[in-house]
Amino acid sequence: GAVVSQHPSRVICKSGTSVKIECRSLDFQATTMFWYRQFPKKSLMLMATSNEGSKATYEQGVEKDKFLINHASLTLSTLTVTSAHPEDSSFYICSARGGETDRSYEQYFGPGTRLTVT
Amino acid sequence: AQKITQTQPGMFVQEKEAVTLDCTYDTSDPSYGLFWYKQPSSGEMIFLIYQGSYDQQNATEGRYSLNFQKARKSANLVISASQLGDSAMYFCAMREGLNTGNQFYFGTGTSLTVIP
């Protein structure tokens, strides 16, 4: 099946710094990628939808100046958490819309990035 | 209104027994897709099964089957012959419309524990 990777898998950063999370589709071209945030023992909350070559569409309540999303190519989307604060600590998961496969109805999820802001 | 409702925060099942995880959904779109994902403690989301709104048959994938009751707007996941490795969080999700780029709506999840 299609593979989506995320890097890093875990990151610890100091309050006030920025951190970048990469999401890559390894064996297909992903015109659309999604970024989710998940708090412990909670559901996935969609943060934004990212289309290659255009600005991301953010969900209500998500600060686009704080969570910068760049989808520069068909295989890479990045999420940058700017001026991170402890409340930004969370599990961030990306997913990519499947390409022309038998299971094009699927979204393929990355393994997630656990961000801890100290 | 919640798009996806999972009313069982936690479930226990004896190894080798079957278990049903409940999911109800709410949409006015005649075209939609329903998904179940498994999330083990490692965090990755593992696709289990898909049911399209126009599918006549209930979806099955190995030990997983989806009990699709359209009139009741329910899409329960049935896991047969539970294994210890099935212990995980299970999320029901829906995508409205036919565009595969449309967003997913996730339920709050059910934590399944398989007892030896």
Length of chain A: 118
What are the tens digits of pLDDT across the range A7-45? 999 999 999 999 999 999 988 888 889 999 998 888 999
Distance between A3 CA and the closest CA of chain B, angstroms: 11
Picking from A37, A89, A39, A11, the residue whose alpha carbon sits closest to that of residue A48 is: A37
Chain B CB contacts of A91 under 8 Å are 43
Range of lowest pLDDT (A42-46, A55-59, B102-106)? B102-106
Alpha-carbon gap, residue B109 to B88, rounded angstroms: 10
Report percent pLDDT > 90 for chain B: 88
What are the tens digits of pLDDT across the range A59-84? 999 999 999 999 888 899 999 999 99
Q: A117 has which bridge partners?
A: A13
Closest CA in chain A for residue B9: A41
Q: Is A54 helix (H, G, I), strand (E, B) or coil?
A: coil
The pLDDT assigned to A100 comes to 57
